[in-house]
Amino acid sequence: MSNHQGSPGRAGPAADVGRWFSTATQPAATPAPGPAAPPAPGMPGAAPSAPSTSRPLFRLPAWGPVPHAQYGHRSEPELLAEAWDLLRGEPTAVLTGAGMSTSSGLPDYRGRDAVPRAPMTFQEFMGSDLARRRYWARSTVGWTQFLRARPNHGHELLAHLGAADLPVTGVITQNVDALHQQAGSHPVVDLHGRLDRVRCMGCDAVSGREALHRRMLSMNPALAARVEELAADAAQAPDGDAEVDRTADFRYPACPLCGGILKPDVVFFGESARREVVREAYALVEEASRLLVLGSSLTVQSGLRFVRAAVKASTPVVIVNDGPTRGDEQASLRIHGRIEDVLAVWAGS
Q: Which residues are catalytic?
A: 192
User: Cα angle vertex 273, ends 271, 279, to 5°?
Assistant: 155
How does DSSP classify residue 261?
Answer: -
281's CB contacts (< 8 A; 6+ apart) are 172, 189, 191, 306
343's CB contacts (< 8 A; 6+ apart) are 153, 154, 157, 158, 161, 294
Dmax (CA) of the chain: 61
What distance in Å separates the CA atoms of residue 171 and residue 185, rounded to the nearest whole number?
7
Strand, coil or helix: what is 292? Answer: strand
Residue 265, φ and ψ in degrees, nearest 5: -80, 60
What distance in Å separates the CA atoms of residue 142 and residue 235, rounded to the nearest whole number?
9
Strand, coil or helix: what is 190? Answer: strand
List the one residue out of 218, 238, 185, 236 whose CA is nearest residue 64: 238
The answer to whether residues 43 and 24 touch, using CB atoms and an 8 Å cutoff, is no
Strand, coil or helix: what is 200? Answer: strand
Sign of the torsion formed by the C-alpha atoms of 14, 16, 17 and 22: negative
Sign of the torsion formed by the C-alpha atoms of 160, 163, 165 and 171: positive
